Each structure stands twice: as C-alpha cells, then as structure tokens.
Structure 1
Amino acid sequence: MTGRVVAVAAASGHLFSKPVQGRITLLAGLGVQGDAHCGVTVKHRSRVKVNPNQPNLRQLHLIPAEQLESLRARGFEVAPGAMGENVTTEGIDLFALPRGTRLYLGASAVAEVTGLRNPCYQLDDFQKGLMKATLERAPDGALLLRAGIMAVVIEGGDLAPGDAVRVEWPAEPHLALEKV
C-alpha cells in the first residue's frame, strides 16, 4: 500500500490548528522538530495532567485527506493542519492500519502507528458538530474514531508535500487501533 503526503504542519505552541509548512523534520524518538508535542514524554496537556512521565505515543498526528474531504462535503471548513495534524496523507486508509504498522515517509523517515486520536471537545470548540462528525458506527455498532491516527518516530528525516508514503504491516496477529 502506497500513498503520498498532501501537506505537513507544525506549531511551537499548543494551538488547536497547526499552520501548514513547506517541510518538517521528524526526529527519532521525539516527533516533529519545533512542534509543541515533540518529546520523549507526553506533551498533550490533558495527558500531562494525568501523568507527565508517560511515554509520548502521540509524537506524530496523521489524517487522511479523504477524511477532510468527507468532512468538507458535510459542511465543515477543514483544510490540512486545521484539526491539529502534522501530516495529511492521500491514498492510504490510515484507519484500517493495525497497531505497529510502519510508515516509510519521504526519503528516510519511519514512523510506527500507535493508535487513534481520541476526538475531544476541542473539535466542537473549533467548529460546532465536528466532534460528532468524526465519530462513526461500524456495521456491528462499534464506535469508530475518525479524527486521525497517532505514531512515534522511529527514524528521522525531512518530509514535504508530494513525498511518498509506503506502508509495511506488522507480523500477525494484527492488533486493532485503539485510542491513545
């Protein structure tokens, strides 16, 4: 499975939306250089309150462009970076990937998928109804979280729009993504 990077974004402060950049640098074991969520331990404020020493499984936030298109079709104004993601991809069903999937990003970066972004009230603060719009139901009634996926950076490198994304599935048994 292959796709491409549509956009990259980063913000040094804890902003909901992240401004799109021409290029970002991924740092092994840390995340996006200069981004507020970069670090070995968790940087998301809600998680820091619970335990500031827990490992940062949310170093990199990715969302498929197809999800943004779906939200726009329902009347939401969402562009790359608007929902706080660092990387917007195209051509890969990120939500179907199992935990431990490796994403080869650009020429040298590698990230490992850790789980799903948990939609929170900040989505509604950004645009009323957006949180509910990122929640879907599977045919069996299970709740599906569609606000992006999270990953850790295994190997660093630069990443820019147009760069390739290659997917390498982990060995079986595959573990479904859960919120992290």
Structure 2
Amino acid sequence: MAHLSSIVYQPRDLTYEPGATDFIRLPLARVELVAGQGLRGDRKAGRNPDRQVNILSAEWLATAAARGYRTAPGQFGEQLILTGLDVVALPPGARLRLGAAAVLEIVKGRNGCTRLEAAQGQTIAGLGPIGVLARVVEGGEIGVGDEVAVEDNLLVETETENRPVIA
C-alpha cells in the first residue's frame, strides 16, 4: 500500500533573500489540508487553485539521486512525497485519499523551471515529468506514514524499471 513519507512546507512568515537559490521548506509530522487552499500555514496556500499541493514519488527521487540531483525533502520544491505510487502515471482528475479524510485531485503533471535548475545547481533537461500538481477537494489532517489510496480502484503502482523516469 502506498503511504505518505514526507511533508514539508514554506511558512508564510519566511521569505527568500535576494539571490537565494534553495527552496525554503521545513518538515512537518502532520498538517491540515484545507479544501480549496492547500497546506495550512504554507506561503502558497490559496494563491493558485491549480497548484495547491506539489507531489513527488519517493521512487522517482531515488532515481534522481542516483543521477546526482539533491533530493532531501523539499529540494525539488515539493510539499508531499509518496512511497509506492507512481504519481506521474495518474491522469488529471484522479483522486487520492490521504489518511482518514483528505482527498486531493490531480490537476496536471509538473515540469521543471529555471527556479528549480537554480536550486539544483544543474540542468533538469531530460528529467521528464517531475511529479504532479493537485488541488485539495476534501480537507483533513494528514501525517507522515498515512496510507494513500487512489479512489475508484485506479491504483497505479510504481514501475520505475518498466518506464524511463529520467532520460
């Protein structure tokens, strides 16, 4: 069964210094997902309905780490890391249940940008899709270790050996 292995966020009161390249992300054991907003207390919560939550797969990160990318939680700008689920294989509209109550809906795949390249200190060309962006459709508290299920029996297991994750 897939599970939530990391939660990080950028507190609203922390801002980037001029010229900073790293992402500011702090770890959390638990957080409330707020419907239509994102992670409670996150700097980006409520700003863009299509970018409320940024999700990566732990297996994808392991492949990126083997290629020399920095992959500690938050270093790809993500907020959630899921283990045992290939999130980039989920189509837009797929819904994930996290913990007892929270539901996320996949909006679209996430591609890198120059900000991510600056944070990584190298090109991200050839990485392919970098996780997914989701919206919170049902709020609730989530925590590291919570089970994650794809609703409507649309479970997509991680297949890093069968699908090129990083070209």
Interval containing the TM-score (normalised by the shorter chain): 0.7 to 0.9
Counterpart CA distance in 2 for 1:70 and 1:132 is 15
Counterpart CA distance in 1 for 2:134 and 2:42 is 14
Deviation at 1:134, TM superposition (A): 2.2
Gaps of 5+ in 2: 17-22, 155-167
Contact map agreement 1:100 1:170 (CA 8 A) in 2: no
Q: Could you give the per-residue CA deviations for residues 51-73 of structure 1, whole angstroms, max 9, x where no partner exists? A: xxxxx211011000011101111
Deviation at 1:95, TM superposition (A): 0.7
Does the C-alpha gap of structure 1 residues 116 and 170 become closer, same or farther in structure 2, counting only changes over 3 Å?
farther
Q: Could you give the per-residue CA deviations for residues 113-145 of structure 1, whole angstroms, max 9, x where no partner exists? A: 00012210112211232522523xxxxxxxxx2
| TM-score, L = length of structure 1 | 0.75
Does the C-alpha gap of structure 1 residues 169 and 128 become closer, same or farther in structure 2, counting only changes over 3 Å?
farther
Q: Of 164, 167, 174, which aligns to 2:147? A: 164
Q: What residue is the counterpart of 1:148 in the other structure?
A: 131
Does the C-alpha gap of structure 1 residues 17 and 63 become closer, same or farther in structure 2, counting only changes over 3 Å?
farther
Counterpart CA distance in 1 for 2:123 and 2:143 is 27
Matched, 1:30 2:37: yes
Q: Of 67, 92, 97, which aligns to 2:90? A: 97
Does the C-alpha gap of structure 1 residues 169 and 149 become closer, same or farther in structure 2, counting only changes over 3 Å?
farther
Q: Could you give the per-residue CA deviations for residues 4-56 of structure 1, whole angstroms, max 9, x where no partner exists? A: 000111112466242221111100111110111111x42xxxxxxxxxxxxx2
Deviation at 1:110, TM superposition (A): 0.4
Gaps of 5+ in 1: 43-55, 136-144, 172-180
Q: What residue is the counterpart of 1:3 in the other structure?
A: 2
Counterpart CA distance in 1 for 2:94 and 2:64 is 25
Q: What residue is the counterpart of 2:71 in the other structure?
A: 78
Contact map agreement 1:5 1:89 (CA 8 A) in 2: yes
Alignment of 1:99-178 (within 5 A): 99-135=92-128, 145=129, 147-168=130-151
Runs of 4+ residues deviating >6 angstroms: none
Counterpart of 2:4, as a letter, is V
Counterpart CA distance in 2 for 1:80 and 1:35 is 15
Please tell me the root mean square deviation across aligned C-alpha atoms, in Å. Answer: 1.9
Instruction: Report the identity percentage.
Output: 36
